């Protein structure tokens, strides 16, 4: 196959930062995706409807002229989030979920939830108004191996939440393990998961090949090969609970390439092309539209897009860096070949 046409996809997990950094990265997503769920872990975090509305306007201002793109907003849950704010979020019409960051789990998560019991009233309100609970599923104790933190979170927290709030819609964001896949497959209706391109294409060896590879370091961290294979099977299979969420997370190059580099892979420049590679390697390009364009809208209760995009099987090479405000940003697969290319101009 040399060309593939799909219903325009959506990104159900995206970071775009703010300010000049935001203006640099939003165009990459808007050229490929019709909608994206915007993660709220700014500094300070997006904890109120008013803050989400203002952030949404800043994103819309960064969308290139002539492109139609809808940011779908989320709230950042803290120990102090109130059920009243959840009701206001639902009434807003532009907030589709609220995100759990266990305190200390990832970038800008210091204000996150310190104990799941503290947000039980909020989860009850989310269940009542049908606002999606989006979960970064890792425990944070230093005694738990970094490669096992997703599994331990499932055992200690996730399983109980799904049972305690039986009508709460839950997305296990950026699932990374075989156990995560098995949990979602065995869960009740209303539980889904997003899967990133890097977790489909790489295992943990990619962090260490020829030395430390900081631009392949993300959280949740890349896992074992059998985990990658389980994710590929889930994404390319027929289970509608697994759908696209890039977790594209831009960071300035100097903040990645230092003695304590931050976590995050920037994939927005080539997101749908990278997914096409993973699906082609699995012999399931025929399932890419379902994963990228159908299952996410269906889970969130939104209409599928009607416009289309086309991918050509034309090799191209992302540059070493992109502009990132006044900084530089190293993209995923920088200086390496990408097998598929969106049939429109790639931004420089």
Confidence of residue 346 (pLDDT cuts 50, 70, 90): very low
Tell me if 167 is assigned to some domain.
Answer: yes
pLDDT in tens, 283-293: 999 999 999 99
219 is in an annotated binding site: yes
pLDDT in tens, 266-276: 999 999 999 99
* pLDDT at residue number 260: 87
* pLDDT at residue number 344: 72
Tell me if 235 is assigned to some domain.
Answer: yes
pLDDT, mean of residues 33-52: 97
239 is in an annotated binding site: no
17 is in an annotated binding site: yes
* pLDDT at residue number 345: 47
* pLDDT at residue number 108: 63
SS3 of the chain:
CCEEEEECCCEEEECCCCHHHHHHHHHHHHHHCCEEEECCCCCCCCCCHHHHHHHHHHHHHCCCCCCCCEEEEEEECCCCCCHHHHHHHHHHCCEEEEEECECCCCCCCCCCECCHHHHHHHHHHHHHHCCEEEECCCCCCCCCCHHHHHHHHHHHHHHHHHHHCCCCCEEECCCCCHHHHHHHHHCCCCEEEEECHHHHHCCHHHHCCCCCCHHHCCCCCCCCHHHHHHHHHHHHCCCCCEEECCCECCCCHHHHCCCCCCCCCCCHHHHHHHHHHHHHHCCCHHHHHHHHHHHHHHHHCCCCCCCEEEEECCCECCCCCEEECCEEECCCCCCCCECCEECCCCCC
* pLDDT at residue number 242: 98
* pLDDT at residue number 348: 36
Mean pLDDT across the chain: 96
Give the chain's domain count.
1
Residues with catalytic annotation?
Answer: 247
Full domain range(s) for residue 97? 10-303
Tell me if 40 is assigned to some domain.
Answer: yes
pLDDT in tens, 106-148: 766 678 899 999 999 999 999 999 999 999 999 988 999 999 9
Tell me if 143 is assigned to some domain.
Answer: yes
Tell me if 193 is assigned to some domain.
Answer: yes
21 is in an annotated binding site: no
Question: What's the CATH number where 41 sits?
Answer: 3.20.20.140
Tell me if 317 is assigned to some domain.
Answer: no
pLDDT in tens, 57-103: 999 999 999 999 999 999 999 999 999 999 999 999 999 999 999 88
286 is in an annotated binding site: no
* pLDDT at residue number 213: 95
Tell me if 311 is assigned to some domain.
Answer: no
Question: Is residue 28 scored above 60 in pLDDT?
Answer: yes
Question: Is residue 347 scored above 50 in pLDDT?
Answer: no
């Amino acid at each position: 196959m040399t060309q593939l046409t799909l219903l325009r996809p959506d990104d159900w997990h995206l970071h775009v930062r703010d300010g000049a950094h935001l203006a640099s990265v939003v165009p990459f997503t808007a050229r490929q995706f019709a909608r994206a769920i915007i993660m709220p872990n700014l500094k300070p975090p997006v904890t109120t409807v008013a803050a989400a509305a203002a952030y949404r306007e800043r994103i819309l201002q960064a969308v290139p002229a002539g492109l139609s793109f809808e940011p779908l907003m989320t709230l950042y849950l803290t120990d102090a989030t109130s059920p009243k704010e959840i009701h206001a979020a639902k009434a807003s019409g532009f907030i589709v979920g609220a995100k759990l960051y266990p305190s200390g789990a990832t970038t800008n998560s210091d204000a996150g939830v310190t104990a799941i019991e503290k947000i039980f009233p909020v989860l009850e309100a989310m269940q009542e108004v049908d606002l999606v609970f989006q979960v970064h599923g890792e425990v944070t104790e230093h005694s738990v191996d970094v490669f096992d933190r997703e599994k331990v979170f499932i055992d200690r927290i996730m399983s109980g939440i799904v049972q305690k709030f039986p009508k709460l819609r839950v997305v296990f964001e950026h699932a990374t393990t075989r156990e995560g896949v098995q949990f979602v497959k065995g869960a009740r209706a209303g539980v889904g998961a997003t899967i990133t391109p890097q977790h489909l294409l790489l295992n943990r060896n990619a962090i260490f090949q020829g030395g430390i590879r900081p631009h392949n370091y993300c959280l949740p961290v890349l896992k074992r090969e059998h985990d990658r294979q389980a994710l590929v099977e889930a994404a390319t299979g027929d289970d509608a609970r697994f759908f696209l969420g890039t977790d594209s997370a831009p960071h300035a190059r100097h903040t990645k390439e230092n003695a304590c580099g931050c976590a995050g892979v920037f994939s927005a420049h080539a997101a749908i092309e990278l997914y096409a590679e993973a699906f082609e390697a699995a012999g399931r390009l025929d399932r890419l539209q379902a994963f990228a364009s159908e299952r996410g809208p269906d889970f969130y209760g939104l209409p599928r897009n009607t416009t289309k995009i086309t991918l050509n099987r034309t090799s191209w090479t992302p540059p070493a860096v992109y502009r990132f405000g006044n900084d530089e940003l190293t993209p995923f697969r920088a200086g390496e070949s990408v097998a598929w290319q969106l049939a429109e101009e790639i931004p420089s």
